[in-house]
Amino acid sequence: METQDKRIWLTFDDGPSPQVTPWILSVLKKENVKATFFLLGQQIEEFPKLTDAIVKDGHTIANHSYSHKNGWLTNKGKYLEDIESCQELMPNNKLFRPPYGKITKSQIAVLKKKYKIILWDVLSYDFQQNTSAERVQENIIKNTKAGSIIVLHNNTMSFKNIYPILAKTIQQLKKEGYSFSATW
């Protein structure tokens, strides 16, 4: 995002997750950082108390669709319906992140009337099983600049790669003069 200062946005996709979300929240609280959680509707329904905990801690929640459909592989009507099913669970939300970052021009044309579509410029690759936590951290540190939007994942598949590095990465970014925002 455009910014004159060294403000960045830390985002977490795919939650909430009972195995991962409480831990992420504890790290963010300890580091005094606010983040944005792009949540799945089916996860919100299954774990409403975790969604409430994210909001209670002062973080932003946003729409990541109900069931993580790929916009390139889903017809427009079904894709939009899936997004609205999630939106019903967070009626004041104005943010949407397409799963996989895959969205068609016709889907964008409809969605941008109601949402600010948030993509990213720093993909952590924490979801890749053949990578290491150290490579995830190195990738984030190397590619972050003023205005960066960093994507991490709030799920069990990515946990092995974020567990060892989340606090250290936040601390390193702070040392480099970055501040964290959850305001869009």
120, part of any domain:
yes
Q: What span, in angstroms and rounded, lies between the C-alpha atoms of 75 and 121?
A: 26
Q: Give yes or no: 64 in active site.
A: no
Q: Give yes or no: 153 in active site.
A: yes
2, part of any domain:
no
Q: What is the pLDDT of residue 170?
A: 98
SS3 102: coil
56, part of any domain:
yes
Query: pLDDT category, 3, cuts 50, 70, 90?
Result: low
Query: Which is catalytic among the residues 5, 13, 14, 126?
Result: 13
111, part of any domain:
yes
Which tens digits make up the pLDDT trace of 5-61?
A: 899 999 999 999 999 999 999 999 999 999 999 999 999 999 999 999 999 999 999
77, part of any domain:
yes
CATH assignment of the domain containing 112: 3.20.20.370
Average pLDDT, the chain: 97
| Mean pLDDT value across residues 75-100 | 97
143, part of any domain:
yes
Residue 5, token pair as written in the block: 């200062």
140, part of any domain:
yes
Supply the range of the domain harboring residue 95.
7-181
Query: Which is catalytic among the residues 14, 59, 82, 153?
Result: 153
Q: Domain count of the chain?
A: 1
Q: What is the pLDDT of residue 140?
A: 98
Q: What is the pLDDT of residue 151?
A: 98
Which tens digits make up the pLDDT trace of 104-125?
A: 999 999 999 999 999 999 999 9
DSSP of 6-51: SEEEEEEEEE--TTTHHHHHHHHHHHT---EEEE-HHHHHH-HHHH
What is residue 100's DSSP assignment? G
